[in-house]
Amino acid sequence: MSNITITQYFFPGQVKIMGQSFSPDFRRVIISMRSNLRFTPRCSECGSKAHISHDTTKRLVRDLNLAVTMVCLNLFYRKVYCPFCKKVRVERQEFVEPYARVTKRLALYIHELCKTMTVKDVAEHLGLDWKTVKNIDPALAGEEEFGETNYTGLKLLVIDEIAIPPLAGRIIWMGEGRSKETLDSFFTAMPEETRKGIVAVASDMWKSRRGGTIKKWCPGTKIVFDLFHLVKDFNQVVDKIRNQEYHQADAQGKAVLRGTKYLLLKSQENLKENETVRLKEVLELNQTLSTTYILKEYLKKIYQPRNIEQANAALEEWCSLARESGNPELIRFARKLKRHREGILNHCIYPIHTGKLEGVNNTLKVIQRKAYGYLDTKYFILKSKQAFAGT
């Protein structure tokens, strides 16, 4: 008699293999199994020892493939009466959740695939309905862990369309849009003690965040306007001045300025050799653009000091140079800097920034594209929090 058996692959002792049947092309096998009657059944809900009932039920459950063959388990359950729950339940099987249509190991495999593949691709790969895959993944992705907002240990925050603590690097909360109501909903759910404990928030210069909403909910916090958004805003000024200068230039000037948009927006240290030569030609030709480019690079000096007095001196010098240029766009931006002086100088005390958050946003866009937009917002937020669980 052969000693070869497949029982050991299906948690030996818990079940008995009753038989198997293959499809004509051997691409699908159905393995029939029942509980080992030598073991006392346990309630599938609470795990308590239960009294055997005479009724049985069966369910077809998908398991991991065996080579290229799809494996289905025709599992016969005993129905039991649980004295603790005071109800009739199906008995517990360690390799499959009660009433699940896939085994635990297949569910874990699906979860791992969902980290790098779309729900649709995983479903097609395994021959499952996409809804089955989507419903399996959140449970293993940590719906219990990531489904609710975790406000633990918040002292510093970075806010855009999402909120993260900059040192821990975890996503706290996500909301749609940039409205005051969206931000209100974040702070409304936050415990009052946590709100009082937040010492600094980094954000862009959007007025409802700066002056109103954050200060309303966290009156003792410092608002920090970081260099990233400052440069981003000034880049729009650079491009506007470039367009103005281009339209005022003669034919030769237009030829030099044509196609220089991204050249002027690049940082000096990121320029290639041929770009450095081209930039020099542009700046020598046009004094206004030369001044604008110098001021763009000089913005960084406002953020270099860790001393408020030095940072304020650098800001004043920048604004003075902008006024001396006589250019309306540069003068207007200088006024904007002065209006936001406090938030800019707060960077000396709390050097937090939204640069990390921009990297997070880029990753989230990739996650969203992989899932064809994630029509289920709750699922998208869960996957995003899982990707940035933090420390």
pLDDT digits (tens, 9 = 90+) for 38-60: 788 888 788 788 877 767 788 89
Burial class for 207, CB neighbours closer than 10 Å (0-12, 13-18, 19+): exposed
Average pLDDT over all residues of the chain: 81
Instruction: Say if CB 229 and CB 354 are below 8 A apart.
Output: yes
Helix H or strand E segment including 240: helix 227-248
Indicate the range of 131-135, 242-246, 303-307 predicted with least confidence.
Answer: 131-135
Measure the CA–CA gap between 121 and 18, rounded to whole angstroms: 34
Q: 321 versus 207: which is more confidently predicted? A: 321
Cα 139-143-388 angle, rounded to 5 deg: 115
List, for residues 179-226, the tens digit of each pLDDT value. Answer: 778 888 888 888 888 888 899 988 776 554 555 788 888 888 898 888
Per-residue pLDDT band for 335 (boundaries 50, 70, 90) equals very high
Measure the CA–CA gap between 249 and 255, rounded to whole angstroms: 9
Residue 376: pLDDT over 70: no
Q: 57 versus 303: which is more confidently predicted? A: 303
Contacts of 31 (CB under 8 A, 6+ apart): 6, 10, 17, 19, 20, 71, 72, 73, 74
Residue 17: pLDDT over 80: yes
Assessment of whether the complete model's pTM goes beyond 0.95: no
Q: How many CA atoms lie within 13 A of 145 on its CB side?
A: 15
Residue 360 confidence (pLDDT): 67
Per-residue pLDDT band for 388 (boundaries 50, 70, 90) equals low
Kindly state the average pLDDT of the residues 356-370: 65
Residue 377 confidence (pLDDT): 66
Per-residue pLDDT band for 154 (boundaries 50, 70, 90) equals confident
Residue 373 confidence (pLDDT): 41
Q: Which residue has the tokens 């198997």?
A: 20
